[in-house]
Amino acid sequence: MSRALIVIDVQNDFCPGGALAVPGGDEVVAPINAMMDDFDAVILTQDWHPAGHSSFATSHKDRLPYDMIDMPYGPQVLWPEHCIQGSEGAAFHKDLRIKGDMIIRKGFRPGIDSYSAFFENDQKTPTGLNGYLRDRGLTVLTMVGLATDFCVHYSAVDAARLGFDVTVDKSACRGIDLEGSMQEALESMQKSGVTIALP
């Protein structure tokens, strides 16, 4: 009873037609649904931004989506407005099985973004997921979802750093690939000891 499936941000805004659509984002839904019964626990994460979040380009004068800025916690990509709390865009994809033991909401603090399921982007403020997994004895993690090169990547690296046995199943992930971010993410995960399961 030690294996958990971590389903990252399979939300409408990250699927085709959404505000920050990941190419082929909806293609992860069927394989993720098929995996769920093979694990001892399923944890879903949900990007959950307040309106006017500091990671939105619209919150910064004369800035455009995908510009980089320096925030007090480090470099930050500015994104189109997405996954605003309570919006249809923030909802899980309608076909995703919400067979979760827990839903972790992240990115809800107005002044800091959160890619990882474990920490805000300051790498210090915890989401509570580490403690939950430890308390349940869940030490072997498989990560799936959106997007491979951002939230899946940061979640997997943090999990490995915290001592979990981590696999990213690429068959159930899709990426944005922002200026080479996919290759960088794959190299970063492998250097961190994350297993990459290829389709």
Active site residue 177: no
What is the rounded CA–CA span in Å between residue 189 and residue 25?
20
Closest CA to 80 of 20, 7, 4: 20
Closest CA to 176 of 145, 143, 148, 144: 148
Q: Which of 106, 113, 169, 173 is the catalytic position?
A: 106
Active site residue 151: yes
Closest CA to 16 of 93, 90, 106, 114: 93
Q: Which of 9, 13, 26, 47 is the catalytic position?
A: 9
Q: What are the residues whose beta carbons fall under 8 Å from the beta carbon of 184, sequence distance 6 or more?
A: 149
Tell the burial category of 25 from Cβ atoms under 10 Å away from its Cβ (0-12, 13-18, 19+). buried
Active site residue 9: yes
Residue recorded with tokens 């989401």: 127
Q: Which of 151, 158, 169, 173 is the catalytic position?
A: 151
Amino acid present at 169: D
Residue recorded with tokens 């949900």: 46
Residues catalogued as catalytic: 9, 106, 151
